[in-house]
Amino acid sequence: MKPAITVSGLKRAYGKNAILKGVDFQVESGTIFALLGSNGAGKTTTINILTTLIEADAGSATVAGFDVSKSSDKVRQHISLTGQFAAVDDMLSARENLELIGDLRHVKNPAQTAKELLSKFDLTDAADRLASTFSGGMRRRLDIAMSLIGGPQVIFLDEPTTGLDPEARKSMWQTIKMLAQGGTTIFLTTQYLDEADELADIIALLHEGKIVAQGTATELKKLVPGGVIKFTFSTVAQLENAAIILRKDFVVTKADNTTLTVAADGNVKQITELFIRLRDSKLEPASFSQQVPTLDDVFFKLTGKKEEKK
C-alpha cells in the first residue's frame, strides 16, 4: 500500500526565522501518526504545508499520492483539516454547519449526512441550536463531524484536545481511534506525551524545526536507559541477602533500608529471572514495582528541556 503522506527535506521560514529546517517522515495508510513537539516547534507550520494552506520554501511533500504544491486541488479532495481552534460557524446551527460542508463537498444528500453525523457525535438534541451556545467539547465534536463529510482519506488534526476538559479529552481519543479503525489515516499534532502514547502508531518528535526521533512509543522509550524494578523487603536482613544474590548478574542499588532497585529494561524474561533467583533463595519481597521510561523521559532527553528548566 502506498504511504498516505511522504515528506522530505521540508523547509519553511518566516522572514529570517527558520521554522522548519529539513523535515522528513512518512505516514503509512490507515495509521495514526503523531507529530509531537512543544509550542513553536513547527507543528502547525508542517500541518499548514501538508493541507495546502501555505507553501514550503524547499523540499517536497505528497498527501494521498499527490504533490501538495503542484496538485493542491487533488490533495484537497482527499483531506480534511481540523484546526487548533474549532472552526465552526457560530451563526449557524450544528445541523446547518454540517449541511454547509455537505453542500460544498457535493455529497448526495447533505441533510441525511448531517442527520447521521449528529447522531454519531451525540449532537442530535442540540442539532438546531446555534453553535455559539455550545460547550468546548461540543464544538470540537461538531468540528470533527464536519471534517468527516465526504469521506476524506487523510484527516489532519491540529492539537485536537488542547483546551478540553479531561472527560471531553477522553471522548475525543475514542473518536480518533474509531476513525482509524475505519481505515482513515490520521495525522495529528500534540504537545501532550500521553496523548501521543495513547493514540499513535508512530510518533515523530519535532524539535526546533527537525525530527529528532521517530518510531513507535516502545521504540522511542528504548532511546533512554533507566528502566528499573523496585523490591521492598520486610526486614533489613532479607534485603541484604537479596542484594548479594542479585548482584551477581544485575546492577543493584539500595534505595533505603527496605527498598532495592534493580536496573532492568522491563522484558518478561528478565523479570522472571529475578523472581526465580529470589525464590530459590527463599526470599519473598513484600512488594514489587516496575518503572519503565516514559515518553517524557525521551522527550526531555532528546530536546534537553530538563536542562532548561533547572
Partner 1 sequence: MHTIKDTWTMTRRSLKHILRSPDTIITVIITPIALLLMFVYVLGGALESQAGSGKYVDFITPGIIIFSIVSGIAYAAFRINTDIQKGIINRFRTMPVAPSSILSGQATSSTLSNLFSSVLVLAAAFAAGFRTSAGLEEWLLFAALLVLFTLATTWMAVFFGLQAKSPEGAGSFSYILMLLIFLSPSFVPTSSMTPVLRGFADNQPFTPIIETMRSLLTNGTAGNKVGLAFAWCAAILVVMYALSIWQYKRK
Binding site for partner 1 (CB under 8 A): 51-53, 73, 76-77, 79-81, 83-92, 96, 100-101, 103-106, 130, 146
Nearer to partner 1, 14 or 85 (CB): 85
Enter the C-alpha cell of residue 268: 518478561
C-beta of residue 13 within 8 angstroms of C-beta of residue 49: no
φ/ψ (deg, to 5) at 164: -95, 150
Provide DSSP, 154-213. Answer: EEEEESTTTT--HHHHHHHHHHHHHHHHTT-EEEEEES-HHHHHHH-SEEEEEETTEEEE
State the minimum distance, in angstroms, from the CB of residue 289 to partner 1: 45
Nearer to partner 1, 100 or 212 (CB): 100
State the minimum distance, in angstroms, from the CB of residue 103 to partner 1: 4
Q: Give the span between the Cα atoms of 62 and 69, in whole angstroms.
A: 9
Nearer to partner 1, 105 or 115 (CB): 105
State the minimum distance, in angstroms, from the CB of residue 88 to partner 1: 8
* Helical segments of 19-90, H only: 43-50, 72-78
Nearer to partner 1, 46 or 52 (CB): 52
Nearer to partner 1, 62 or 303 (CB): 62
State the minimum distance, in angstroms, from the CB of residue 304 to partner 1: 33
Q: Give the span between the Cα atoms of 224 and 111, in whole angstroms.
A: 52
Q: In what order do the strands lie in the sheet with 252-254?
A: 252-254, 259-263, 228-232, 287-291
Number of neighbours of residue 286 by Cβ within 10 angstroms: 13
State the minimum distance, in angstroms, from the CB of residue 13 to partner 1: 16
Nearer to partner 1, 82 or 303 (CB): 82
State the minimum distance, in angstroms, from the CB of residue 102 to partner 1: 10
